[in-house]
Amino acid sequence: MRLSEIPKSVEDLATDCEARLVARFAEIDETARTNTRRVLEAFQEFRVSDPCFAGTTGYGYDDMGRDTLDKIWARVFGAEEAIVRIGFVNGTHAIASAIFACLRPGETLLSVMGAPYDTLRTAIGISGDAFGSLAFYGIKYAQVETKDGSADLPAIIEAADRIRPGAVLVQRSRGYDSRRALTVEEIGEICTAVKEVSPDTVIMVDNCYGEFTGTLEPTMVGADLMAGSLIKNPGGGIAPTGGYVTGSKELVERAAFRLTVPGIGGECGSTLGNNRLLYQGLFLAPHTVAQALKTAALCAAMLETLGYKTEPAAEEPRSDIIQTVYLESADNMSRFCRGIQSGSPVDSYVTPEPWQMPGYDCEVIMAAGAFIQGASIELSADGPVREPYMVFLQGGLTYESGRLGVMAAISEMLDK
Ligand SMILES: *Cc1c(COP(=O)(O)O)cnc(C)c1O
Q: Identify the pLDDT of residue 56.
A: 97
Q: What is the mean pLDDT of the chain?
A: 97
Q: Is 35 strand, coil or helix?
A: helix
What's residue 173's pLDDT?
Answer: 97
pLDDT > 90 in the chain, percent:
96
Q: Name the residue of 88, 92, 172, 373 whose CB sits within 8 Å of the most ligand 1 atoms, as the mutation to test its pocket.
A: 92
3-state helix, strand, coil in the chain (%, to 5): 45, 15, 45
Q: What radius of gyration do the chain's Cα atoms show?
A: 21
By alpha-carbon position, which residue is closest to atom 2 of ligand 1?
208
Q: Which atom of ligand 1 is nearest to the CA of 206?
A: 11
Answer yes or no: are the C-beta atoms of 275 and 121 closer than 8 Å: no
Q: How far is the CA of 208 from the centre of ligand 1 (A)?
A: 6
Number of the ligand 1 atom closest to the C-alpha atom of 120: 10
Vertex 96, ends 95 and 98: CA angle to 5°?
65
Indicate the pLDDT class of residue 361, thresholds 50, 70 and 90.
confident
235 CA to centre of ligand 1 in angstroms: 14
Q: Which residues line ligand 1 (CB under 6 A)?
A: 90-92, 95, 117, 119, 171, 173, 175, 206, 208-209, 229
CA of 245 to the centre of ligand 1 (A): 13
pTM more than 0.95 = yes
The answer, yes or no, to whether residue 107 has pLDDT greater than 80, is yes
| Minimal-distance CA residue to ligand 1 atom 6 | 91
107 vs 359: CA distance, rounded Å? 28
- Using the atom order of ligand 1, give the atom closest to the CA of residue 209: 15
Q: What residue's CA is closest to ligand 1, atom 14? A: 208
175 falls in which pLDDT band (50, 70, 90)? confident
pLDDT digits (tens, 9 = 90+) for 254-287: 999 999 999 999 999 999 999 999 999 999 999 9
Ligand 1 atom with the smallest distance to the CA of 175 is 13
Atom of ligand 1 nearest to the CA of 92: 8
Angle at CA of residue 368, ends 320 and 275, nearest 5° = 70
Atom of ligand 1 lying closest to residue 91 CA: 9
> Checking DSSP bridges between strand 323-326 and strand 225-229, what pairing results, if any?
unpaired
Give the pLDDT confidence of 109-164 residue by residue, as tens digits: 999 999 999 899 999 999 888 999 999 999 999 999 999 999 999 999 999 999 99
Q: Which residue spans within 41-96 are E strands per DSSP?
A: 81-85
